[in-house]
Each structure stands twice: as C-alpha cells, then as structure tokens.
A and B are shown apart, each in its own frame.
Chain A
Amino acid sequence: MENQEKDYSHIKGWGIDADPKNDPTYPMRKRSNDEHNGYGWKRPPQQPIDIEVLHSNERPNVTAVFGTSAPPSGLSGMIRRYAFRYGEGSFAHWLPLLMADRVNVVEGILDDFRRGRVPNIFAERGGKAEWKHNPKGMVQKVAIGVVVVTAVVALLSRRSRSSES
C-alpha cells in the first residue's frame, strides 16, 4: 500500500494483471466441490495395459494413459514391486525405490556390456564440457578423489596388517 504513489512507468506492463480480488488465487480459485461426488467422472478410454504398470495403492486402477518408457525388470524391478505395496506417505515405499534406482544403474552397465558396449562414463558425465569450462574445478575434483581413495586404501591395508598380527 505504502508505495502506491510511486511511479512505475519505466516497467512495461506494471500492474496490468493486478486484481484486488486475486484472493484466494490459484489453485483455489476455480474450486467446484465436484470431488464430493467421488471418482465418478466419465473416464477417457483406457490405454491397453500390455506391459507391467505398477500403480500407487492410493488409487484403484491404472490411469487411462501411462508411460511405457521402462517397465520394471530384473532385480530392481523386484524391489520396485515390493515398494508399491506401501502407500505414498511411507518410507517403505520410497527408500526401496531409491535402492532399486541404484541397483538399476548396475543393471544398466551390465546390459551395456551384454550388448558389447563399454559405457564411456567420462563422456556421459559431460567431462568434455567440464574440462573446457571449468578445468580448475575438475582437477580439484580428481585430486580430492585420489586423496580419498589413497586414504581408504591406506586405512584398509593398515587394518588388515593389524588384524594379521
């Protein structure tokens, strides 16, 4: 309010969407309470479910359309199936899914090898761009990596030596 006297003519479009009744604004504005009638709307036709689609246990069905990018498979798929037994508010749902994602990464590498392809992890991580635009940062990262690996190796070898004695 205090600034109403100010001149905003240098800002193109100042105030053109101002609306004193802009409250409650989106997402409440078009509230209809139709949902009181429940899940009763006329659903779009169902996309044929000819792959495995995991669906949240907070809904009764698979939505009318769905993505087909990567149906669950392998060990990660088994973990995902387990996760979907739990609701969306539960850690028992999300933590296994995160774990499945990590297992899936290993599956992806094995799959590459099976197809006779050695994944170029340096290139996949955008190494070329990093080297071009941030060589200092990259050297630093590599150096930290080397230090950490050396420290871990040193620690492990000392431990195995002391357990031998």
Chain B
Amino acid sequence: MLAMSYRGPQRVRIDQKPMPEILHPQDAIVRVTRSCICGSDLHLYNGNVPDTRVGETFGHEFIGVVEEIGPDVHKLKVGDQVIVPFNIACGECTFCKQELYGNCHESNPQATAVGGIFGYSHIAGGYNGGQAEYVRVPYANVGPTVIPDWMHPDDAVLLTDVVPTGYQAAEMGGIQKGDTVAVFGAGPVGIMAARSAWLFGAGRVIVFDQEEYRLDFVRKFAQCEAYNFKSIEDPVVFMKKTTDSLGADVCIDAVGAEAAGSAMQTITGRKLLLQAGSSTALQWAINSAKKGGIVSIVGIYGPTGNLVPIGNVVNKGLTIRANQASVKRLLPRLIEHIRNGVLSPRQLITHHIPLEEISDAYRIFSDKLDNCIKPVLIPPSARI
C-alpha cells in the first residue's frame, strides 16, 4: 500500500509499505478515504519532537471504511464508514472512565505524559498514521464512530481533531456570558475556537495571527474581530487598551511550538531547540489575561520545557487549563451542531490533494502557501 514516510526534518515522501495487520483482538483495519495534515504534524515535520523515527507514517486525522475487524470488535462491522478520533483510548482505564480519552494509560508505552495518538511519533506510542491507504486502528470498540449518512465526508474528517479541539479550547476557557475571549492563532484550530467561543456565550471574540488571508477568513467564518500582530507593536498592550486596561477574561493559545512574533523565542525555541519550541503565543496569552482569568492551551509543545512568564500566572491568579482534545467525548454534541447547521467546518478545507503529492502538500501547509488553511489528502483507492 502507499503510505507517507518521514525521512528527516522537512523531508517526507510516499513509499510502498506492507499492509497493516490485526495485532490485538480489539483492532480494526480501516481503508482511508480522506486524511488531513494538521498544525501538530508540523512539529514532527520540522524535527522538533524527540523520538520521531525515520520510516514512520504520520497522520492522526482520517476517516475511512472498516475493512477487517479483530475477534473482540463488536461495535463495528466490515463496510462501516467511520470517523476515527485521533486519540487511541482503551475505554477501561481510570482516565478513559473520566472521559479523558486523550490521556489513556493503556495506549502509549513510551511516555506517560500523553495517551497514544495515530501517526504521532514514538512520543505518542509509535503508531503508523492515516496519511496512507490503510491503517491499523486499536481499541476499535471505543474511538471509531460511524459517519451519519447525511454527513459530508469533509465535515466528518474535521471531526477527528480540528472541530473538537477548537471547541474544547473554548470549553476549557470556562466562558461566562459576555466574556471577552482572545484567541491566538487563526489556523484551523484557532478558527474553530473563535467560532465555538460564541456558542458558550462570549461577548467579544478577538483573534490574532500574522497571515492576512487567514484573518480575512476568520473574520467572516467566526464573525469576530481579527488583527495582524505584525502590524501591532505589542499585542498585549493592544489587548489591554481594548479591554479598558483590564485584559481578556479568557485567552486561548491555538498556536503552540511553531509560534512566530519574537526573535528571541524563535531562535531559542525553533532554531537551537534550547526550549521545546517557541512559546510566544502562550506568553502573550498569559500576559493578556485579566487578573483571575483563564488561559486555555491547546497549542502543542515538546516535552522538555518552555520560557513562559510563570511569575505573572502567580501574581495575576490565573487558572490554566489544557489538554489534548477528548474527541470521542465531544462527538455527539458536535455532530448535532453540524446537523443543525450551527457549525459548518468543511469551509476550512482549501485543498484536496492526491496522497501521492504528500511532499508538496506538507510544503504548502507548512509555509502557508496558496492561501492554504486546511489540506485534505485523498488516497488513490478512494478516488475511483
């Protein structure tokens, strides 16, 4: 089968690989019909995540058709079209029981700090991912959810990560009616976070990014204010000025380790790897929050450590909430929102690219070329 293969920092290609097999009684094999490239993949692509091994296949956002099931799989049958959440979760451990599906204790031997994730290096379990024609899906009774027949596949594939992550970013903000919410990042995740903030009753939603085309998109899609931080001297001062000098009630970091905006952070975090990525956006989020406010982090950082103004967290009495999205937990509500026309995520998809052109797809998404917001990869077997 064809599958993406990581070769080194900023080097990926398509290779022939053996078909995945059932290795555990609760496994399923899924034939991929659509997969995405995510901002999270860029951390791997840039070689910034330790224990990313050559030959691994990335891709944690995919939908497909169940081709084969293990003897203990009873919630799916061959032929089902499924949304596969990016988290690999057993459903039985104490964390899964609390619906912390991103924190399962039985899916990632290499690190206790995160549950298993498809195609996310050995820091997240060493699983091959969905930028391929076929994938092995463990714990098939827990995560995979049958796609309702009325749902567009482009909406379905965004339910594997982007929509729940953006929604959870707003949810973790504990937004109260009338709150001012600042969202850092207008990538797919930030855009969904801004849109979701309204559902929780935000009074004002303000987004920052440096890509003009993304700011234009989020202004329309999420009906919010959006500013280019490159044309603002100091986004924190800007936020204070626009909130009567008090700061935002809720600040969301939807950028993570690839953040731009501070030369010092970029050099130490992204070039020299002296910290686990650049934490510029998180720094802005912390400093823009009001006293007693909430900072919600969904941007991803590496495992070592980052320069953040933790003293200000203490002095301002901030609450920090953060996690990998718990996709399965949120799917029922989000499916309802799509059915009722409250959310229409597929508008985010700007590119449909053949899986074989994976190297170019990564370049386009990584460098924000051709006004790309979200690229979807289509394997040859799904094009006939």
CA distance in complex: A108, B168 (Å): 38
B-side interface mostly? loop
Separation of A44 and B73 alpha carbons in the complex (Å): 13
Closest CB-CB distance, A46 to chain B, in whole Å?
A: 8
In the complex, what residue of chain B is closest to A22 when comparing beta carbons? B174
Residues of B within 8 A of A84 (CB): 110
Whole-angstrom CA separation of A32 from B329 in the bound complex = 16
Contact partner of A26 among B171, B302, B303, CB < 8 A? Answer: B171
Q: Are B52 and A26 in contact (CB under 8 A)?
A: no
B residues near A88, Cβ cutoff 8 Å: 111-113, 303
Q: Does A1 contact B (CB under 8 A)?
A: yes
- A1-28 residues at the B interface, CB under 8 angstroms: 1-4, 6, 8, 10-20, 22-27
Residues of A within 8 A of B360 (CB): 126, 128-129
The contact of A59 among B57, B112, B200, by CB within 8 Å, is B112
Q: Does A157 contact B (CB under 8 A)?
A: no
In chain A, what residue has the closest Cβ to B341?
A12
Taking a contact as CB atoms under 8 Å apart, the answer to whether A98 and B367 are in contact is no
Complex alpha-carbon distance, A51 and B98, angstroms: 32
Which of B11, B90, B110, B196 contacts A54, CB < 8 Å? B110
For residue A123, give the distance in angstroms from its CB to the closest CB of chain B.
6
Closest to A54 in B: B110
A161 neighbours in B (Cβ, 8 Å): none
- Contact mask for chain B residues 14-42; partner A; CB cutoff 8 A; 1 contact, 0 none: 00000000011111000000000000000
In the complex the two chains form, is A18's CB within 8 Å of B200's CB? Answer: yes
- Tell me if A150 is interfacial: C-beta within 8 Å of chain B: no
- Point out the residues of chain B lying under 8 angstroms from A65, CB to CB: 23-24, 26-27, 88, 90, 106-107, 116, 138-139
Task: Give residues 173-196 of B contacting A (CB, 8 Å).
Answer: 174-178, 196
Q: Any chain A CB within 8 A of the CB of B128?
A: yes
Whether A134 lies near B367 (C-beta < 8 A) is yes
What residues of chain B lie closer than 8 Å to A67, measured between beta carbons? 116, 122, 125-128
B267 beta carbon closer than 8 Å to chain A: no
Distance from B177 Cβ to chain A, minimum over Cβ atoms (Å): 6
Interface size of B by Cβ–Cβ distance < 8 Å?
90
Given known contacts A11-B223, A41-B92, A69-B56, is B200 in contact with A121 (CB within 8 Å)? Answer: no
Number of A positions contacting B (CB below 8 A) = 84
User: Is B333 interfacial (CB-CB < 8 Å)?
Assistant: yes
Which A residues are in CB contact (< 8 Å) with B56?
Answer: 69-70
CB contact list, B325-383 vs A, under 8 A:
326, 329, 333, 337, 340-343, 359-364, 366-367, 369-370
- B residues within 8 A CB of A6? 178, 203
The residue on B at minimum CB distance from A8 is: B198
Task: Please tell me if the beta carbons of B204 and A3 are within 8 angstroms of each other in the complex.
Answer: yes
Min Cβ gap B102→A in Å is: 9
A80 CB contacts on chain B under 8 angstroms: 51
With A and B bound together, what is the CA distance between A27 and B55 in angstroms? 34
> Are A43 and B106 touching (Cβ within 8 A)?
yes
CB neighbours (8 Å) of B105 from chain A are 39, 59, 63
Residue of A nearest to B52 (CB): A101
- A129 and B53 form a contact (CB under 8 A): no
Interface centre among B98, B176, B196 (most CB of A within 10 A): B98
**Complex formed: what's the CA distance from A52 to B95 in Å?**
26
- Cα distance A70–B273 when bound, in Å? 24
In angstroms, Cα B26 to Cα A31, docked, is: 27
Q: List CB contacts (< 8 Å) of B255-304 with chain A.
A: 273, 302-304
Chain A residues lying within 8 Å of B367, measured Cβ to Cβ, are 130, 133-134, 137
Decide yes or no: A104 and B54 within 8 Å by CB, A27-B323, A125-B359, A133-B370 being known contacts. yes
Q: Which one of A97, A101, A105 has the highest number of Cβ atoms from chain B below 10 Å of its Cβ? A: A101
Determine how close the nearest CB of chain B comes to the CB of A82; give it in whole angstroms.
13
Q: Is B201 an interface residue (CB 8 A)?
A: yes
B106 close to A44 (CB less than 8 A):
yes
Residues in chain A near residue B303, CB distance under 8 A: 88, 94
Bound Cα distance from A48 to B362, whole angstroms: 35
Contacts of B88 in A (CB 8 A): 65
**In the bound complex, CA of A66 to CA of B93 (Å):** 15
Whether B23 pairs with A68 at a CB distance below 8 angstroms is: yes
Q: Are the CB atoms of B199 and A54 closer together than 8 Å?
A: no
Report which of A12, A98, A123 forms a contact with B359, defined as CB distance below 8 A.
A123
Considering the chains assembled together, what is the distance between the CA atoms of A156 and B8 in angstroms? 28
Residues of B within 8 A of A (CB): 7-13, 23-27, 47, 50-57, 72, 88, 90, 92-95, 97-100, 103, 105-113, 116, 122, 125-128, 138-139, 168, 171-172, 174-178, 196, 198-201, 203-204, 223, 273, 302-304, 321, 323, 326, 329, 333, 337, 340-343, 359-364, 366-367, 369-370
- A/B interface sample: 29 pairs, CB < 8 A: A1-B177, A3-B203, A3-B204, A4-B177, A10-B223, A14-B199, A14-B201, A17-B201, A17-B333, A18-B176, A24-B174, A63-B107, A63-B109, A65-B26, A65-B88, A65-B90, A67-B125, A69-B126, A70-B55, A70-B56, A101-B52, A105-B11, A109-B7, A120-B13, A126-B359, A126-B364, A129-B363, A133-B367, A133-B369
